[in-house]
Amino acid sequence: MKFFVDTADVAAIAELNDLGMVDGVTTNPSLILKSGRDILEVTKEICGIVSGPVSAEVVALKADDMIAEGRKLAEIAPNIAVKVPLTWDGLKTCKVLSGDGFMVNVTLCFSANQALLAAKAGATFISPFIGRLDDINLDGTDLISDIRTIYDNFNFTTEILAASIRNANHVTQCAMIGADVITAPPPSSKASPRMC
């Protein structure tokens, strides 16, 4: 299973990357804005640190605007995965950008049917938010299991990127179920990695 780090903290990314723990990065505009730096500048710096996929999220809401923004983000570096929301406009954007040969991360997935639509639209990654499902008394890892079964049944190549990881059990369960990737914030201290 691949480990992506969910942050815009360039120093934390570099430190984990040096340890060989980072297969990719997920981030979003709000995480980058907290740094007080330019979104494109930070994203480019992150892409220079890690060789794996770096998810850069669009902020537009309509497909045409998302497509234009996604193409601009994809120009930053070849390892950019354009992150789009799981809406009809996001799925239209996914179809176009994946057809152009770009990696696309479809985010905010809360059901197996949504994951099926994303795979059919050509998503490189689907990001089910398991912690948020747990927050409303549903078992988020059940969703990972359902998606794994569907993707295996139909030979979809979309990778399951388990997001909204809240505890070490989530990591273990996702690994046992067959998630391709988990993404989590960097450890809060060096002595106790949050993912472990």
CA-CA distance, 32 to 20, in Å (whole number)?
23
The helix (run of H) or strand (run of E) holding residue 159 is strand 159-162
- Give 129's DSSP letter: B
* Whole-prediction pTM: 0.94
Per-residue pLDDT tens digits of the chain, which is 196 residues long: 999 999 999 999 999 999 998 999 999 998 898 888 899 999 999 999 999 999 999 999 999 999 999 999 999 999 999 999 999 999 999 999 999 999 999 999 999 999 999 999 999 999 999 999 999 999 999 999 999 999 999 999 999 999 999 999 999 999 999 999 999 999 853 434 444 4
What is 2-184's CATH superfamily? Aldolase class I (3.20.20.70)
User: 34 catalytic, yes or no?
Assistant: no
Out of 2, 34, 83, 190, which one is annotated catalytic? Answer: 83
**Directed axis angle between helix 140-153 and helix 168-177, to 10°?**
20
